[in-house]
């Protein structure tokens, strides 16, 4: 897959890799050894920072590759990040809806990325990363889905029937409006991100889309405007029995045209669900 992306991009185009919470092994050991790198918003990470990162960047040849962390300035007023720092400002507190609270030691004003990387205390992102590394692929996929549900609310059990996909969409939508977007806006404020637009993808809900309330996709006072890239994984628990267009359909992206604000687009709405169903080995 990476080789195909690199070949399609070609030597004349650039790929910027911005690791997220599932990619700790790519950059985290190097960050611990180079603390100065966690003081900036658009840090340049060398291709050989870790053996795994070197393999990844080599696989993307012949495209030119840069690695930035924890984010990258795509334009003077547009900052993009995976968005996992927002977990530091989330705490599922009730069985209904989503409540914002504390999780670990919340970074305060004038924070740096180091305050989010090494804050200590419990963290959904840290727990998720540790467990995902030791689970076999099918179990890791199931656990990953469960963590997303936990972010939405503290449900006593995961849904047992796919016909409840409409409920999951509702819960995740509440998560997005009431918790994830405000939490990301708080991250931007505390890191001093002076941007008109912030792009992220951590929560997998493409948007804003037609029909979404614009104010729910903005920080305090309307800045920054926030855009989410959506997902590239078909989740049966969310998408059972539905057809595109749908905010959780695989193939979301954000387009940034010169002089225009970023806009969310759905690239794979023309493909049926069967296209994305890949059986795990041994199942």
Q: What is the pLDDT of residue 93?
A: 33
> Residue 13: exposed, middle, or buried by beta-carbon count in 10 A (0-12, 13-18, 19+)?
exposed
Statement to judge: residues 9 and 88 lie in one domain: no
What are the respective helix, strand and coil percentages of the chain, to the nearest 5?
Answer: 40, 15, 45
Statement to judge: residues 4 and 134 lie in one domain: no
What's the whole-number mean pLDDT along residues 217-227? Answer: 94
The whole-chain average pLDDT of the chain stands at 79
Statement to judge: residues 143 and 197 lie in one domain: yes
Statement to judge: residues 186 and 246 lie in one domain: yes
pTM greater than 0.85: no
61-75 pLDDT, tens digit per residue, is: 999 999 999 999 999
Instruction: Write down which residue in 74, 92, 116 finishes a domain.
Output: 74
Statement to judge: residues 35 and 159 lie in one domain: no
Q: What are phi and psi of 173, to 5 degrees?
A: -65, -40
Higher pLDDT, 270 or 282: 270
Residue 17 lies in a domain: yes
Residue 215 lies in a domain: yes
Higher pLDDT, 128 or 20: 20
74-132 pLDDT, tens digit per residue, is: 999 999 999 999 888 775 433 222 434 444 456 667 899 999 988 765 455 555 555 54
Residue 281 lies in a domain: no
Statement to judge: residues 213 and 256 lie in one domain: yes
Statement to judge: residues 167 and 63 lie in one domain: no
Instruction: Write down which residue in 74, 95, 127 finishes a domain.
Output: 74
Statement to judge: residues 179 and 50 lie in one domain: no
Q: State the alpha helices, DSSP H only, in the chain.
A: 2-9, 24-33, 51-59, 113-117, 124-134, 137-152, 165-175, 181-191, 236-239
Domain interval for residue 33: 1-74
Higher pLDDT, 224 or 35: 224
Count the domains in the chain: 2
246-259 pLDDT, tens digit per residue, is: 998 999 999 999 99
Statement to judge: residues 10 and 110 lie in one domain: no
Residue 32 lies in a domain: yes
Statement to judge: residues 217 and 121 lie in one domain: yes
Radius of gyration over alpha carbons of the chain, in Å?
Answer: 18
What's the whole-number mean pLDDT along residues 6-10? Answer: 97
């Amino acid at each position: 897959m990476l080789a195909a992306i690199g070949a399609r991009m070609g030597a004349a185009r650039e790929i910027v890799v911005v690791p997220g919470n599932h990619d700790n092994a790519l950059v985290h050991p190097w960050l611990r050894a180079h603390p100065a790198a966690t003081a900036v918003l658009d840090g340049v990470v060398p291709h050989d920072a870790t053996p795994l990162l070197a393999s990844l960047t080599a696989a993307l040849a012949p495209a030119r590759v840069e690695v930035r962390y924890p984010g990258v300035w795509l334009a003077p007023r547009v900052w993009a990040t995976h968005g996992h720092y927002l977990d530091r400002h989330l705490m599922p507190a009730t069985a209904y809806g989503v409540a914002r609270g504390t999780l670990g030691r919340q970074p305060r004003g004038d924070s740096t990325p180091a305050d989010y990387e090494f804050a200590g205390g419990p963290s959904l992102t840290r727990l998720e990363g540790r467990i995902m590394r030791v689970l076999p692929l099918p179990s890791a996929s199931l656990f990953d889905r469960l963590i997303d549900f936990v972010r939405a609310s503290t449900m006593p059990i995961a849904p047992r029937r796919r016909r409840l996909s409409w409920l999951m969409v509702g819960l995740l939508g509440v998560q997005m409006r009431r918790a994830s977007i405000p939490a990301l806006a708080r991250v931007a404020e505390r890191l001093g991100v002076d941007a008109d637009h912030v792009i992220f993808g951590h929560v997998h809900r493409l948007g804003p889309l037609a029909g979404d309330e614009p104010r729910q996709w903005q920080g305090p006072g309307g800045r920054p405007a926030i855009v989410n890239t959506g997902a590239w994984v078909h989740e049966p628990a969310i998408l059972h029995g539905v057809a595109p267009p749908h905010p959780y359909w695989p193939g979301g992206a954000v387009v940034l045209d010169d002089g225009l604000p970023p806009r969310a687009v759905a690239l794979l709405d023309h493909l049926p669900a069967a296209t994305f169903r890949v059986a795990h080995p041994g199942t």
